[in-house]
Homo-oligomer: A and B are copies of this chain.
């Protein structure tokens, strides 16, 4: 598919990876300790202690390396269902769950199952740029709704304005990468109302896909609303990449709401897509470990400390930032209108950030602070110099 289209499209497709790699180059020149690489959302901390114990335990289990049913181990799916049901009004069962290769695998099997040619998936900018590729993979495309004018919170009226006969799904991602914004229950209900009204008016059912890898990483006692309780046609996908710090192991899952009409058929289709897209199933060992460690999580207070240090310092320097309720990202306004230009200037001070353009939100930039606290502290001086150069 890409073979004939030339290399530009491919090579320029990820600002995140590009900035990360620039940072690696700078580290070789200046020494890793002098480079402040805030580009990648790569959990730097080791997973909770239980993960190691759990790996040892399951490595003793006979048959742990064999194929299982394509949806994943039955016991693991039941463990996840039980955990989910504790805080959800909508009660699910193991059979409503499919174990996946992270949330990225989850999103691909969801979109492959749902989309027909040229159908649209609404996303709210700033958004994870991969969503566009995921939709394209399966014949669809994204329709971008901007939220920058509303403090990164989507509004029902803005969603309503873009719904049309081609709309098949809406992706939400809260707490949000890159803005760190947590969508309140009121916001979700507003979006749900727009979709319910649209279905009444047009007869078209639109699926709400909730991409939730950051729900465990929230601060200041904020509560993450359960999306499935707000709208029947909901599909949740999440991973253990951030909550357990297992990004490289590729383990996550999809929940297909039992409130969806023909929920079981849709689940069967998604299992088929999990198989035929080449995932076959999620990695056996990591399924078992995830089920065993459900409810465990990495040290959130550590992330919160870093958020506070950078947020306060940058705010004091004159940067405009919405204080995030969750994730390990900050999304300040770029002091220069051209965020790519700003990213280049920041590199002079060995600061690597990702331009907002990489998230469909030019004029901003993303700081990923899942880095050692020492690095955060050491970077403050560089930020001060950068602010001075820009006359903030």
| A residues in contact (CB < 8 Å) with B | 1-4, 7, 10-11, 13-14, 17, 40, 42-44, 46-47, 51-52, 55-56, 59, 62, 64-68, 70, 101-102, 104-109, 112-116, 130, 133-134, 137-139, 245-251, 265-266, 268-269, 272-273, 275-286
Contacts and interface: CB of A to CB of B under 8 A. Distances in A.
**Protomer copies:** 2
Nearest to A24: B69
Given A64-B248, A67-B248, A112-B1, A276 B137 contact: yes
B106 A248 contact: no
12 contacts: A1-B115, A1-B139, A3-B266, A3-B269, A13-B272, A42-B66, A44-B66, A101-B101, A102-B278, A108-B278, A279-B279, A283-B286
A68 B248 contact: yes
A284 B1 contact: no
Given A2-B272, A248-B284, A276-B134, A42 B67 contact: yes
Given A247-B65, A248-B65, A133 B283 contact: no
Contacts of A137: 112, 276-277
A278 B65 contact: no
A134 B4 contact: no
Contacts of A1: 112-116, 138-139
Contacts of A67: 40, 42, 247-248
A4 B14 CA distance: 33
Contact of A65 (B108, B116, B249): B249
A101 B278 contact: yes
A284 B139 contact: no
A47 B113 CA distance: 35
A363 to B, nearest CB: 26
Nearest to A73: B248
B7 A265 contact: yes
B7 A268 contact: yes
Contacts of A101: 101, 250, 278-280
Given A130-B276, A139-B1, A281-B250, A11 B59 contact: no
Contact of A268 (B10, B64, B265, B266): B10
Nearest to A51: B65
Contact of A250 (B107, B269, B283): B283
Contact of A107 (B56, B278, B283): B278
B279 A4 contact: no
Contacts of A279: 101, 104-105, 250, 278-279
Contacts of A275: 14, 130
Contacts of A134: 276, 278
Given A1-B113, A250-B282, A133 B276 contact: yes
Given A7-B268, A269-B10, A280 B2 contact: no
Given A65-B247, A67-B247, A105 B278 contact: yes
- Closest CB pairs A-B (n = 8): A248-B284, A108-B278, A133-B276, A104-B278, A105-B278, A10-B272, A2-B269, A283-B283
